[in-house]
Structure 1
């Protein structure tokens, strides 16, 4: 099967959605997102059957750039995350009305196209092109359809755009240097390079700036909470559910195998940064009264733990990080969607203004509770599998990393359950609160079903990603 078919479907879908007009845009975009997700599943069956899923053709002669796509177990997992979440995100938006909806839904599909390309690209320059393309649609989604005062929204979005673009330029410089050494941008050629420790350090830092901003890791996180809050919920879902995974995926795919000497030398520092993000994000989340901001800082804590796991340079750390990436993608989309459902009825995201929702909307309260429990890594949920594996990898490096990293579970349970108590329980707000609609219920049940199914049976995903991660670890150890 031609791996580029998924990218073609998403790109054609973006143009078709734009041309379909405002009335049909949501349905057309959903159709193409379903087609892309279906093709991803078909591609998975071909991969599991042992087929080599790759495409390499000359793109630019000087410099030597190839249009190279490759799907191994790791990129397949991230591709499935992207296409399945795109379906869920588009379907979840059906309860809202958007001005110029044809552009809105076209941008969603175009962003999905760019993110899928990032996960599939095996040529450095092509990867960089897709990486930057993903920034354009989210900029307009947040700016045009975002929340709050326009001037404040502009400041938040422009800061995010410039900050992210500036960090990525360092990565581009690193790729240019690597090209001068290898004569090619192809990943397999870059893996063959024998770089000195000094060269690796500078390349490591160049990549780190791009990835730390995108993930984000402290102290490069300052854009995150405001952009999450100002973006429409669909934009927040795209950012938290998929886009930040581009940075985490890239650490595993590009940074660590190319610069493992530097990663091994300074791994305690970067594990420490990830752990610091866990503690900082959790403490700040405790003080939030805005539901979206609380979820934003909660996400910051969780991705800090994931990043710490990647920098352990162990198979458990890499595997746990990928499992947690996927689990976090679904649970954070579910939580932001629950916040959107509440906002549709209350027209507020202030937790202090909520209360007593469970009495009027027991189905929503029950589903929201399941998402909260998944977020705090309750056993039998997908998040427990990822977090436990990451913490075990941290224990292998240093027991104190595991102890400090474990605070994400303790503090997370405190602020998430406290938030649930204030929003769902207590005195009933006098305003009538309708329970979930059919569309809202389908979306929530789909997300919860995935979280609990893979929480009890993660074998399909671990079997998919482990061989690829073992190959990457071999490459890391080869340089060491």
Structure 2
């Protein structure tokens, strides 16, 4: 029942929020997000003692062979917890802000959370597809209504990319459905299929393109920087912190176990695309002056490394990718909170117009430096253990691929340190002398992030235990 409540609470709260006015949407959103964090922690505890109790099967559309199947393994628990924490951090950060049509804004944010949680818990392909779209639709409206001046064209591009990817995945799901002996959409039926290598080879691309667009992986990435730049920053936090993990989750839950021979045939090609994305994203990030675009391109590089580790498909690479999915989500949200603070205070994101903020906003400067260091994997921060395991797994798979992927570490340090220098240090100017330090809500959100950075950096054992035996992470639960 815990698993169902993780979906139902934000879903029902989101629908109710549409009809609320005044401070009602903020209050209900905060209550809902706190409740889902508590439930996600409860699911983690229950998973350690009685994992089968988190699985729910109910009749849904028996005529189509589709049942309502939700469940949680270590990967699902981790990503549901990330979704709940991310939503709470966003609502804490924007508590002091006002939005036009707040009921609609907060309602759509909660519906997106429900869709994301549904994706991470689904063990029925049709149900997975429905939640996949449910997570996308609210984000489309959030970007197109509350985004910046170029939001319409950018949101249309985002919609076209993701819709085409979803369409390809739907074709693949329908084909696999007709290959199952029992005409079922269940994960167990799909993973038990004995398809020929030729079938798996072309089916691989239907699913891979859909997941690659969502992450995104080069060359399917072009929607991402524009969307991150034009979206409201709270929406960008959810997009980059959680929603891109849908693609990585799809690889692990559906692509690897259902089409293993297709993965074996095309894994080298996929890893090469990921490595190109790592180097390309890092190089483009180095020449950016806009904070949002710099973080957007850096995210392409980080996600590319995680995807490459997934396709390396050994114990260490998979563990590293899973841990990094959580840690990257926490760190990138922290960076977006800093960007939100700067944009709200000064109305700009251009690093050439910033500088000397350490004097006027010392607490913000400290948080910015800590989170930036965690984002490049400094030892004793949460970003280190995942990167270490991913590179170790890639080294086992192919030495040369690991060497080229490792360039991302060097480039990441270059653009991150440059960003810190331009934003925090240097000379003050007429604009930055007017800035103020963190408010209570911003301070609380960033403090929670920094606590997680150091706790998971110094003692990552709980997370390692959660994703242990990752070669078994796709084992059937039903």
Q: TM-score range by the shorter chain?
A: over 0.9
Q: Which residue does the alignment assign to 1:478?
A: none
Alignment of 1:50-129 (within 5 A): 50-52=50-52, 53-129=54-130
Cα distance in structure 2, aligned partners of 1:51 and 1:426: 53
Q: Which residue does the alignment assign to 2:351?
A: 351
The 1:51/1:325 distance shift into structure 2, 3 A limit, reads closer
Deviates more, 1:63-72 or 1:13-22: 13-22
Q: Which residue does the alignment assign to 1:174?
A: 172
Cα distance in structure 2, aligned partners of 1:474 and 1:117: 19
1:441-464: CA deviation from partner (whole Å, max 9, x where unpaired):
111111111111111111111111
Cα distance in structure 2, aligned partners of 1:326 and 1:391: 17
Q: Which residue does the alignment assign to 1:250?
A: 250
Alignment of 1:214-293 (within 5 A): 214-293=214-293
Are 2:433 and 1:435 aligned? no
Cα distance in structure 1, aligned partners of 2:392 and 2:158: 34
Are 2:306 and 1:306 aligned? yes
Structure 2: runs of 5+ lacking an equivalent: none
**Do 1:313 and 1:473's aligned partners in 2 also have CA atoms closer than 8 Å?**
no
What SS does the aligned partner of 1:134 have? Answer: helix
Cα distance in structure 2, aligned partners of 1:221 and 1:3: 32
Deviation at 1:406, TM superposition (A): 1.3
Cα distance in structure 2, aligned partners of 1:47 and 1:474: 15
Cα distance in structure 2, aligned partners of 1:232 and 1:218: 24
* Aligned positions, number: 471
The 1:110/1:226 distance shift into structure 2, 3 A limit, reads same
**Do 2:253 and 2:474's aligned partners in 1 also have CA atoms closer than 8 Å?**
no
Deviation at 1:473, TM superposition (A): 6.6
1:148-187: CA deviation from partner (whole Å, max 9, x where unpaired):
x2xx211100110111011111111111111111111110
Q: Which residue does the alignment assign to 2:205?
A: 205
Structure 1: runs of 5+ lacking an equivalent: 476-480
Cα distance in structure 1, aligned partners of 2:158 and 2:113: 19
RMSD after superposition: 1.2
- Of residues 164, 170, 188 in structure 1, which corresponds to 2:162? 164
**Do 2:74 and 2:466's aligned partners in 1 also have CA atoms closer than 8 Å?**
yes
**Do 1:257 and 1:472's aligned partners in 2 also have CA atoms closer than 8 Å?**
no
1:210-240: CA deviation from partner (whole Å, max 9, x where unpaired):
0010000010001000000000001100100
Cα distance in structure 2, aligned partners of 1:226 and 1:75: 30
TM-score by length of 2: 0.97
Deviation at 1:48, TM superposition (A): 1.1
TM-score by length of 1: 0.96
Alignment of 1:290-439 (within 5 A): 290-431=290-431, 432-439=434-441
**Do 1:118 and 1:246's aligned partners in 2 also have CA atoms closer than 8 Å?**
yes
Deviates more, 1:49-58 or 1:28-37: 49-58
